[in-house]
Structure 1
Amino acid sequence: MLSGELPDADCPDTYFTAGYGRASATARGGDWHCLRWRDELLLPYVVNAVHDGLYDAASPYGYSGIHVAPGRGGGDLARFWKQVKEEWRDRRIVAMFFRFSPLDLDSLHAVAALDDIVLTRRGDTIAVKVDEGLDALWDGLRSSCRRQVGKARRAGLTARARPAVPHDVMPGAPFRTLYEQTMRRVGSAAAYLFDDDYYQALVAGLGAGLVIVEVADADGRIVAASLVFAHRDRVHYHLAGSDGTSAALGCNNLLLWTILSWAAESDRGWVHFGGGLRPDDSLFRFKETFGGCRKQFWTGAAVLDPVAYDRLVRERAAAAGSTATQLKDSGYFPAYRFGVGLV
């Protein structure tokens, strides 16, 4: 028998909580749901309409997938997955896209035994272990990173971390302004410019688990800021931006160092910085300078209704002046959303 969400405090990570899931669904215009078996198998997902009464689904944006509790047998997972598919087919969900947690490869390995989820390695992310003290953290930074943090401090930059409040994410607030300017400066897709409803849902849903980290110049002006998720022993770097001119002063290095030191002082275990826009790009290499280790990021694809899926791909191919084979070979999933947008 499948049941719904866990209390947020009992979830293994932020991305499994109802608070985050509903915020993520708000951003994508879908509906958040969660399926679980006891407290041992947990599957959050967001459902989006396609057309003609058909739907698809995806993990909430970020890193969740299916959580499999340590020691849980493959037979239980197989039975759970069978029931999940039956429920989804009854709801006319055509396909499911999973984003698995780089911090939980044991769950990924368990899911790999399921024949009808196709796994793809997307690249690596950076995670830093922060429970060995500030001195060990500082020593783990590359020398170039330490120099940049020192440069920022000599320039009079200061930083702090605190729980976020609604005002922090209002239009025109320093974080919103810096983040949106940064996204436009780097030519980011429009999907990464979130609306007010998303930010307010984050504040309401995550409470003290939503942390804002800010870097100020000598005049008190905020020149870099980040929203961070904190849940149990894990901290996730979510969104960040800077004014562009202060980057040369090391403001971004000071920003990430403050996240690490705050996490260590808050008795967390890991800070997950995520990856780059592309494997091993300049953003990824910047995150590498903070020490830590590479973690594998995998996605999964499951076609639940092959007949409907193939029809949707053919229709999309015809509209795009392409072929169904070309869309399927693109690597985008679901293939019928190629060029349309994320699930």
Structure 2
Amino acid sequence: MTAPATGPRPGDGPPDSVRSVGGVRVVPVPEWDELVRRLGGLDTYTRAAYYGASALLEPPGTRPVLVHYRDSDGEVALALLLRPLADGAGWDAISAYGYGGPVARDEPRPASFGLALDAWARANGVVTTFLRLHPVLGNARLVPATAELVRLGTTVLWDVSPGRDLAGNLHPHHRRAARRADRAGVVVTVASRPQSLEPFRKLYELTMRRNEADPFFFFPEAYWEALLADDAVLEPVLVEGRLDGELISALLCFVHGPRLHYHLGGSDETARSLGASNRCFLAAAQWAQSRAMTGFHLGGGLGGRTDSPLQVFKQRFDPDGAPLPFHIAKIVHDERRYRELAGTASTAGFFPPWRRTS
């Protein structure tokens, strides 16, 4: 596939109207990944290429930006998507779909970082910032002191270190399901940097319709194209389960160093009765293990809830593993403008409230 005709590419700069202010520097995109790597936070979900693709899921005019702050104690980088406000007068900022937040090796003073980020945001018309923090990076401690930090739940990091008996350590339910898929003749393949995502996309959208998913989760064609256009950087992995040649279950994952990240999945009704999804996850984990990876991050439950069926499903792949805490952070940079847009000073519930779709 070719690169999308619209939307940001990794070589693009931030919006012309967004500038460095005081101690907060807007990082040129060609320097993005190297800075994040130097600070110890390079990951699929912190890369410039991933932010470029994720901008395509947000309102038209959304652009990625990486800001960098340094003081005498340390330095921090924060990747954001700037979404234009409906009236065209400013932005709200958000992490890319998945996980994000600040990265740092030597940490700056939280209060200083918060004040500097607020000053940068107000000067650039950024009213709010919403962060989905990265459980594997454990970066909740790095949010600025001005943030409202909320623990939502947990995510699952499956230990796939070499030598572990991945099938034997499954919860008995999952082990039986994977065996049922094998007996039924489900054939699972794993492909790194696939040539096409179209069959996966169709199955994924079928799953979203069955689950009555929010319209956000029906991603535009440009997003799928962007993932493959940057496949050398993002390293997508496609896991497919087929029965008599028909695709019935599939996973889309990303590789970064020692980790495999589960991103999206889909299955039809046949797969659900045969345990094909369980078998696909096991195959992905075994593939990662065979390449000396140590972790398969499965993510969490719907809305971060620890009691959701999805969370329970994921935890059963590594029942003895300790769940990772998952946090979000809410920051209001401009209180007057926030009250004007939200009709309230409260940050409770969906944030920012003007982005609620239902």
Corresponding residue of 1:125: 155
Q: C-alpha distance in 2, partners of 1:232/1:64?
A: 17
Equivalent of residue 177 in structure 2, options 148, 153, 168 = 148
Corresponding residue of 1:168: 196
Corresponding residue of 2:94: 58
Q: C-alpha distance in 1, partners of 2:229/2:123?
A: 32
Q: Check conservation: 1:128, 1:293, Cα contact below 8 A.
A: no
Q: C-alpha distance in 2, partners of 1:47/1:228?
A: 25
Question: How many residue pairs were aligned?
Answer: 317
Corresponding position: 1:306 with 2:332? no
Q: Check conservation: 2:162, 2:290, Cα contact below 8 A.
A: no
Corresponding position: 1:14 with 2:44? yes
Q: Check conservation: 2:111, 2:146, Cα contact below 8 A.
A: no
Q: Secondary structure at the match of 2:50?
A: helix
Amino acid at match of 2:261: H
- Superimposed CA distance per residue, residues 88-137 of structure 1 (whole angstroms, 9 cap, x where no aligned partner): 221100000011011122x21233xx3310011111111111114242x2
Amino acid at match of 2:230: G
Query: Where in structure 2 are the equivalents of 1:188-207 lying within 5 Å?
Result: 188-207=213-232
1:83: Cα distance to partner? 3.2
Q: C-alpha distance in 1, partners of 2:357/2:178?
A: 40
Q: C-alpha distance in 2, partners of 1:42/1:232?
A: 20
Q: Secondary structure at the match of 2:238?
A: strand
Indicate the structure with greater helix content: 1
Q: C-alpha distance in 1, partners of 2:196/2:151?
A: 35
Q: C-alpha distance in 2, partners of 1:221/1:139?
A: 28
Corresponding residue of 1:286: 313
Residues 239, 190 of structure 1: alpha-carbon distance in 2 compared, 3 angstrom cutoff: same
Q: Check conservation: 2:187, 2:242, Cα contact below 8 A.
A: yes
Corresponding residue of 2:283: 258
Equivalent of residue 139 in structure 1, options 160, 168, 172 = 168
Q: C-alpha distance in 2, partners of 1:73/1:93?
A: 24
Equivalent of residue 92 in structure 1, options 125, 128, 133 = 125
Residues 82, 269 of structure 1: alpha-carbon distance in 2 compared, 3 angstrom cutoff: farther
Corresponding residue of 1:67: 103
1:78: Cα distance to partner? 4.5
Q: C-alpha distance in 2, partners of 1:197/1:296?
A: 32
TM-score by length of 1: 0.86
Corresponding position: 1:33 with 2:65? yes
Corresponding residue of 1:108: 140
Q: C-alpha distance in 2, partners of 1:234/1:9?
A: 17
Corresponding residue of 2:350: 332
Q: Secondary structure at the match of 1:187?
A: coil
Amino acid at match of 1:87: W
Q: C-alpha distance in 2, partners of 1:110/1:3?
A: 19
Amino acid at match of 2:140: L
Q: Secondary structure at the match of 1:6?
A: helix
Q: C-alpha distance in 1, partners of 2:323/2:104?
A: 22
* Unaligned residue ranges in structure 1 (runs of 5+): 315-323
* Unaligned residue ranges in structure 2 (runs of 5+): 1-22
- Superimposed CA distance per residue, residues 158-196 of structure 1 (whole angstroms, 9 cap, x where no aligned partner): 21211233x522xxx321111000000011111001011
Q: Check conservation: 1:134, 1:261, Cα contact below 8 A.
A: no
Amino acid at match of 2:128: A
